[in-house]
Structure 1
């Protein structure tokens, strides 16, 4: 899945942002521009690039992960976002996914032709703890979105999503731990509890990342960054449910 980052930079707004990988990676690369400065990137029009023959560089069916080094709904991007919606319309043969900690801004940012959502756009709402779940989820569910995903990452505590889960409304819940030297530990029992909530509700579930520190069966594990996704996959607890349009 290609990463499409039309802008870079963000601001920390909630508990899940404390050890944000964007700030960490900018520091590691010695970037002179502050991570809090939101700026357009050279990838702004990535899905519209063509090869030497004039064909799309990214063919029909490509799935783009959008704004992984910022937030699609961040305030500084308000003047650029309409161009991104237009690119999504032009490339209706591709699909796009973004997740946000600013879901309360979405309603005012939607394009005029949005209707009940673009069929090629999935939106994920991040809920890292119960307090953020109880604030963001009612807003998320009230909005016209065709494909809704919930991202519980970094998962900071046991989270109860039962009041908000319904098949056909939430398509998937994806859970992950926090990465980095100072990451907060993920308790595996929180993960399996969320899986049980999804199974009971008929919602797909994905354990996408262990994080750096994992507590499981009373033992503490330190998992290197390069193994955090593969170790989560090896748990074999994902629930796949076919999506019907």
Structure 2
């Protein structure tokens, strides 16, 4: 079933696909892989294959059962545009999204080129927010240019885990930016100036900025629990989100 989530920028997760493979440095300490292996060991339904890419058509109808407007993170445990997911199955996911105009569906990928290939021949539902991960300059920044070509009403960036200073980059055609540090036993630190650089560019461009977390390294460079490090950047929480009209 779709589940409640502790992810600060969404309300529920919907996983009609599980499993993935690593494609860039942001994947190194993948939380979903760790969780999938744990769920497999527990005998959880849907994780019999561990973190191998698996389609779950029986889960497609879950958002249709909820009338209350809800924000869904699609495939928190996978990547909708993974090479092993056929476009025909993505069509089925998009069909459900189109049939649920009361909901927002946030779709995040590290496979921007395949997202763009899909969008080149299909209409993207207005309530499908399309996003890419941007963890560094080499792998992350090029995804932004590809995302701009996707015909989505709302395009967003998940700058998490932020692994280096991104320098100056173009936010034209981008409607939302999320920033966060890495959490977990092997988390890599995020420097305050890296996050502030992204924030300042968002504010200058009029793009809503959301600071998700410091993770396991604080603004002072000290390692401690994610909860103790909190979510403040420049002395406040940044919870800006796009304002959209779904209907």
Q: Identify the match of residue 129 of structure 1 among 128, 136, 159.
A: 136
Task: Tell me the secondary structure at the aligned position of residue 183 of structure 1.
Answer: coil
1:94 lines up with 2:110 in the alignment: no
> 2:149 maps to what in 1?
142
Q: Identify the match of residue 163 of structure 1 among 142, 164, 169.
A: 169
Higher strand proportion: 1
Runs of 5+ unmatched residues, structure 1? 50-57
> 2:161 maps to what in 1?
154
> 2:206 maps to what in 1?
202
> 1:221 maps to what in 2?
223
TM-score where L is the length of structure 2:
0.82
Measure, in 1, the Cα distance between the counterparts of 2:241 and 2:189.
29
Task: Tell me the secondary structure at the aligned position of residue 63 of structure 2.
Answer: helix
Retained in 2: the 8 A contact 1:215–1:221? Answer: no
How many residues are treated as equivalent by the alignment?
227
Q: 1:142 offset after TM fit, Å?
A: 2.2
> 1:40 maps to what in 2?
55
- Bigger radius of gyration: 1
Q: How does 1:49-88 map to 2 (within 5 A)?
A: 49=65, 58-78=66-86, 79-88=88-97
Q: 1:30 offset after TM fit, Å?
A: 4.9
Task: Tell me the secondary structure at the aligned position of residue 148 of structure 2.
Answer: helix
Task: Tell me the secondary structure at the aligned position of residue 81 of structure 1.
Answer: helix
Retained in 2: the 8 A contact 1:199–1:239? Answer: no
Q: How does 1:176-215 map to 2 (within 5 A)?
A: 176-215=180-219
Retained in 1: the 8 A contact 2:175–2:242? Answer: no
Task: Tell me the secondary structure at the aligned position of residue 139 of structure 2.
Answer: helix
Measure, in 2, the Cα distance between the counterparts of 1:241 and 1:88.
20
Task: Tell me the secondary structure at the aligned position of residue 79 of structure 2.
Answer: coil
Worse-matched range after superposition: 233-242 or 19-28: 233-242
Task: Tell me the secondary structure at the aligned position of residue 75 of structure 1.
Answer: coil
Measure, in 2, the Cα distance between the counterparts of 1:200 and 1:7.
37
> 1:53 maps to what in 2?
none
Measure, in 2, the Cα distance between the counterparts of 1:190 and 1:35.
35
Measure, in 2, the Cα distance between the counterparts of 1:94 and 1:215.
35
Q: 1:128 to 1:201 in 2, by over 3 A?
A: same
Retained in 2: the 8 A contact 1:187–1:215? Answer: yes
Measure, in 1, the Cα distance between the counterparts of 2:17 and 2:241.
33
Per-residue Cα deviation, 1:102-142 (whole angstroms, up to 9, x for no partner)? 0100133238550xx42211011111001123321111112
Retained in 1: the 8 A contact 2:176–2:242? Answer: no
Retained in 2: the 8 A contact 1:185–1:215? Answer: no
Measure, in 2, the Cα distance between the counterparts of 1:108 and 1:142.
10
> 1:21 maps to what in 2?
31
Worse-matched range after superposition: 79-88 or 39-48: 39-48
Q: 1:60 offset after TM fit, Å?
A: 4.5
Retained in 2: the 8 A contact 1:10–1:35? Answer: no
Runs of 5+ unmatched residues, structure 2? 1-10, 42-46
Per-residue Cα deviation, 1:33-90 (whole angstroms, up to 9, x for no partner)? 45441112353321123xxxxxxxx114222111100001012221421111111111
